[in-house]
Amino acid sequence: MPLHIENLKNWEFPEVRTVYLDKDVMLYALSLGFGADPLNEQELPFVYEQQLRAVPTMGAVLCHPGAWLTDPRTGATRSKVVHGEQRMQFHQPLPANGYLVSKARVIGIQDKGSEKGAILHLERQLVGEDGTLFITIRHSSFCRADGGCGSFGETLTLKALPTRPADQIITLPTSACAALLYRLNVDRNPLHVDPAVAHKAGFTQPPLHGLCTYGMAARALLKGWLDYAPQRLLSLDTRFSASVFPGETLQFETWHEGDGIAFRAFAQERGAKVLDNGWATIAPAA
């Protein structure tokens, strides 16, 4: 059925407050594969409390609004909703521990028609206790069964990729237990851990969380282009194209374009494109 557009225009989200500790910062990094080689001194600062650095995309798991689309007032067919795109703008580096507050809001719906579904755009800002704005997150959900609702608000687009061969290819393996680790951050959906639930949903095995793949894109850029300096990553946008399965190898094709890096990613073993139309704005090296 169509989304209930008038309800969504005026949806009131509760304010969410989160206190996170250094162990949460380290767990998030470990769930992305940082520290897989414990002798890699460039990755050690993300998983060791001495001079600890937060991976910028950790903001995706902080002050999370929860599974609000399960509320029948939204009109969403929850079983047909998939995470379509993720955008994050990093205004300040996240501290190694802290207190954050956030309140989400629906910023737009793009109606593709009753046969094609609708895209719902949600925004939340992560703000510190003193009012410092750390991160702006824009999360786009593809409601595949809920078109014909009408459109409103902002229309978000992603950059096209260059047509030339990639300037650099960055390869990262995923751990066979990556989903078991990542779910401890915030998303305990049994789809990502229970084979029976995954089979019922049409998967051969539990897939990796899309936001874990997104975080690994940040890891790839930190490794390949940013000399592991998280403060140089200013934004990260991408579209989710297909699922990743724990244990697969991610191959990132990257291009340096102006003030940023364009990218896409493949699950190497299957040749499946899993991220597309990626763009990261970066700051020059100090």
pLDDT of residue 33: 98
In 47-202 the beta strands, taken as DSSP E runs, fall at 81-90, 98-102, 105-111, 118-128, 133-143, 152-153, 168-173
State in words which class domain 1-155 has. alpha beta
Same fold, 1-155 and 158-286: yes
* Residue spans per domain, the chain: 1-155, 158-286
Token pair for residue 75?
């009109």
DSSP state of 54: -
pLDDT, mean of residues 166-194: 95
| pLDDT band (50, 70, 90) for residue 79 | confident
Domain 158-286, classified CATH 3.10.129.10, yes or no? yes
Cα 274 from chain centroid (whole Å): 13
8 Å CB contact between 63 and 126 = yes
8 Å CB contact between 117 and 147 = yes
pLDDT of residue 186: 85
Task: Report how far residue 3's alpha carbon sits from residue 63's, in angstroms, rounded to the nearest whole number.
Answer: 25
Interval 213-233: pLDDT, tens? 999 999 999 999 999 999 999
Task: Report how far residue 101's alpha carbon sits from residue 64's, in angstroms, rounded to the nearest whole number.
Answer: 10
Token pair for residue 93?
């580096």
Coil vs helix vs strand at 130: coil
Task: Report how far residue 54's alpha carbon sits from residue 28's, in angstroms, rounded to the nearest whole number.
Answer: 9
pLDDT of residue 201: 86
Interval 28-66: pLDDT, tens? 999 999 999 999 999 999 999 999 999 999 999 999 998
DSSP state of 164: S
